[in-house]
Amino acid sequence: MKLRPRRAAVRLALCLMVLLPASALKAQNISTTITPLAGLVQDLMAGIAPDAPTLLPLVPANTEPHNFSLKPSQLAGLRRAELVVAVGQDMEPWLARAEGGLPAGRVIQLGELPEVAALLLAARGFDGQAKAGIDPHMWLDPEIMSLWAQAIAPRLAELSPESAPLVAQNLAGLLAGLERVSATLRQRGDEANLRGVRFVSTHDAYQYMERRMGLDFAGTLADIGGNRAGARSLSAISRLEGPVCLLVDPNESEIPNILPQATRVVIDPLGAQYLLDTEFTLRFYQGMTEAIEACL
């Protein structure tokens, strides 16, 4: 799907016509669950409140989002928020317990948007076959991230109509950048396939990236639920022929000592190291691309 940043920006600019009371768009009024969402919202708000503190996610870096528990202070902050941005699709099961105390319409579950449905991937087993449930790591696909940005931007404009032109400008720049990212990832995937490079992950978080690159599944050392590969799966991985690249999730504490000859690159699926950077989203994908290039 070809992205259309100008058309999206024009649609957003129309939000200026909504007759809402003017208010300042502040990070304190917005809650996000995980780092990629905090970075995305921050990118859309760039330049609106330059002296405002960085928008931090509810789930700290290096913390498993599925098993997270809200602190009372965080729950209170959620209830004060004018907008709560989440992935959905069981990525944050703890949020459902808090939603009962939140005003209706303030939570946007990005992974459950109708326009994203056709791009969702099923979770997969160690054999690469689909199994029950949705793989929630959707933000590793820049096309999905662009759809999310287009869904969030009008909500920000509603919160602060006077900020809508700048949000629209930020959105247009972001969508253009994401279109370039998609093209680059596909090119790197074509190069990898031409050279016969196989990609194995320490944690099965990269399925959406693999699809965008046109890569075939070669194996993973742990599934999306953190279950470790068994002896049969590890044996199959160890017998892979040709060049192999091991994608290392820095949040994994134990990595089996196999594939000693493989090139190892680190890709944090949450992008925690980029949260304080300007243009978080594009820096996140740039880091991913640079890691892939090291395998080629």
pLDDT digits (tens, 9 = 90+) for 120-171: 999 999 999 999 999 999 999 999 999 999 999 999 999 999 999 999 999 9
Residues 6+ apart with CB under 8 A from 96: none
In whole angstroms, give the CA distance from residue 53 to residue 127: 45
Across 274-289, average pLDDT: 94
Residue 166 lies in a domain: yes
| Report for 26-35, 55-64, 69-78, 166-175: range of highest mean pLDDT | 166-175
**By the 8 A CB rule, do 59 and 33 touch?**
yes
Q: What is the pLDDT of residue 10?
A: 41
In whole angstroms, give the CA distance from residue 280 to residue 286: 10
Are 167 and 192 contained in the same domain? no
**Angle 142-159/5-13 helices, nearest 10 degrees?**
20
Are 23 and 146 contained in the same domain? yes
* Number of structural domains in the chain: 2
Q: What is the pLDDT of residue 12?
A: 47
Residue 182 lies in a domain: no
Distances (CA, A) of 204 to 69, 123, 186: 23, 9, 20
Q: What is the dihedral of CA 235, 238, 241, 245, to 10 degrees?
A: 140
Per-residue pLDDT tens digits for 19-47? 333 445 666 689 999 999 999 999 999 99
Q: What is the pLDDT of residue 26?
A: 63
Are 13 and 153 contained in the same domain? yes
In whole angstroms, give the CA distance from residue 56 to residue 62: 13
Across 249-259, average pLDDT: 83
In whole angstroms, give the CA distance from residue 130 to residue 124: 4
Which of 114, 144, 177 is the last residue in one of the domains?
177
Are 219 and 106 contained in the same domain? no
Domain containing residue 219 = 187-293
Are 63 and 120 contained in the same domain? yes
For the cut 60, the answer to whether the pLDDT of residue 262 exceeds it is: yes
Are 12 and 75 contained in the same domain? yes
Q: What type of residue is 280?
A: F
Distances (CA, A) of 188 to 180, 193, 259, 289: 12, 9, 22, 8
**By the 8 A CB rule, do 148 and 33 touch?**
no
For residue 247, what is the enclosing H or E element? strand 244-248
Q: 10 Å Cβ neighbour count for 134?
A: 17
Across 74-97, average pLDDT: 89
pTM for this predicted structure? 0.89
Which of 177, 201, 230 is the last residue in one of the domains?
177
Give the pairing of strands 198-201 and 130-134: unpaired
Q: What is the mean pLDDT of the chain?
A: 88
Q: Which residue has the higher pLDDT, 256 or 75?
A: 75
Q: What is the pLDDT of residue 80?
A: 86
Weakest-pLDDT range from 13-17, 166-170, 262-266 = 13-17
3-state secondary structure of 248: strand
Are 201 and 99 contained in the same domain? no
Are 13 and 123 contained in the same domain? yes
Which of 125, 147, 177 is the last residue in one of the domains?
177
pLDDT band (50, 70, 90) for residue 208 = very high
Are 125 and 74 contained in the same domain? yes
**By the 8 A CB rule, do 83 and 159 touch?**
yes
Are 36 and 110 contained in the same domain? yes
Domain CATH number, residue 75: 3.40.50.1980
